[in-house]
């Protein structure tokens, strides 16, 4: 796949084909992860030099950082359009959050400015509703509590993978909630290990909605 993509780019350059618009549907799908970023960079950089506008359905996260504008669709309707970093940090919907990376969808209940959830409670600075909703939290919004530091929750590791010099660990909390968190490379990781965590609730996106039934 990678060789075919390189050949297609070289052929376009040799023939000086300069399409105004190119539609690419998951072009980088099934590439070796180690080659993803390099191939994506070469593909988009070449077309940018040609002056071609690419309308793409990204198949890999490495493509998102190369886009000028990202449009998220849900059931055929645009739910958010912005640059990828803004959508990643400030998603306006669960679909937008999932389109830009790993996300934890946490059921919550908002009463006044207090948010209650399976991972604990906190005060919300910008909750514009009361009742049931969801908090969208990235794995990196959690950190290991330092020795002597009070923790917000106890996380039990179920499985973990090592990527980009860090652990991406998954655990199951009360009510069957799956939680994914980033752990430093130096943290001993094995199934069943309990780790005290803290979270930065100011980074959570608070939205109205109920993704699944739970009791709080």
Question: What integer pLDDT is reported at residue 6 of this predicted model?
Answer: 66
Provide the domain limits for residue 183.
103-216
Backbone angle region of 104, left / alpha / beta, with phi > 0 → left and psi within -120 to 50 → alpha? beta
Q: Within a domain: residue 47? A: no
Q: Which helix (H) or strand (E) segment is 50 a member of?
A: helix 33-50
Task: Give the CATH number for residue 137.
Answer: 2.40.50.140
Q: Within a domain: residue 215? A: yes
Using CB atoms within 10 A of its CB, is residue 208 exposed (0-12), middle (13-18) or buried (19+)? middle
Question: What integer pLDDT is reported at residue 15 of this predicted model?
Answer: 53
Q: Within a domain: residue 121? A: yes
Question: What integer pLDDT is reported at residue 54 of this predicted model?
Answer: 82
At residue 162, φ and ψ (nearest 5 deg) are -105, 120
Q: Within a domain: residue 159? A: yes
pLDDT by residue, tens only, the chain of 216 residues:
566 666 666 665 555 566 778 787 777 677 776 677 777 788 777 777 778 888 888 766 777 878 889 999 998 899 999 999 999 999 999 999 999 999 999 999 999 889 999 999 998 877 678 899 999 999 999 999 998 899 999 999 999 999 889 999 999 886 678 999 999 999 999 999 999 999 999 999 999 876 544 333
Q: Within a domain: residue 179? A: yes
Question: What integer pLDDT is reported at residue 215 of this predicted model?
Answer: 36
Question: What integer pLDDT is reported at residue 167 of this predicted model?
Answer: 95
Question: What integer pLDDT is reported at residue 172 of this predicted model?
Answer: 87
For residues 128 and 117, give the distance between their C-alpha atoms in angstroms, rounded to a whole number.
17
Number of domains, the chain: 1
What's the CA dihedral at 86, 138, 58, 16 to 10 degrees?
50
Question: What integer pLDDT is reported at residue 216 of this predicted model?
Answer: 37
Q: Within a domain: residue 182? A: yes
């Amino acid at each position: 796949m990678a060789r075919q993509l390189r050949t297609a780019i070289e052929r376009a350059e040799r023939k000086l084909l300069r399409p105004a618009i190119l539609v690419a549907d998951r072009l980088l799908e099934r590439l070796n992860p180690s080659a993803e970023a390099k191939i994506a960079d070469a593909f988009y950089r070449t077309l940018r030099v040609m002056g071609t506008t690419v309308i793409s359905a990204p198949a890999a996260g490495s493509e998102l950082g190369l886009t000028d504008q990202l449009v998220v669709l849900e059931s055929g309707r645009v739910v958010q359009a912005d640059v990828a970093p803004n959508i990643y940090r400030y998603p306006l919907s669960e679909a937008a959050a999932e389109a830009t990376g790993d996300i934890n969808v946490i059921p919550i209940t908002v009463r006044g400015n207090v948010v209650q959830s399976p991972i604990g409670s906190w005060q919300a600075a910008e909750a514009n509703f009361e009742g049931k909703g969801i908090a969208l939290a990235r794995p990196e919004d959690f950190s290991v509590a330092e020795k002597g530091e009070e923790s917000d929750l106890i996380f039990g590791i179920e499985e973990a993978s090592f990527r980009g010099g860090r652990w991406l660990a998954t655990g199951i909390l009360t009510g069957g909630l799956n939680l994914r968190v980033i752990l430093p490379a130096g943290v001993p990781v094995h199934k069943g290990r309990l780790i005290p965590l803290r979270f930065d609730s100011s980074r959570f996106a608070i939205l109205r909605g109920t993704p699944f039934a739970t009791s709080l």
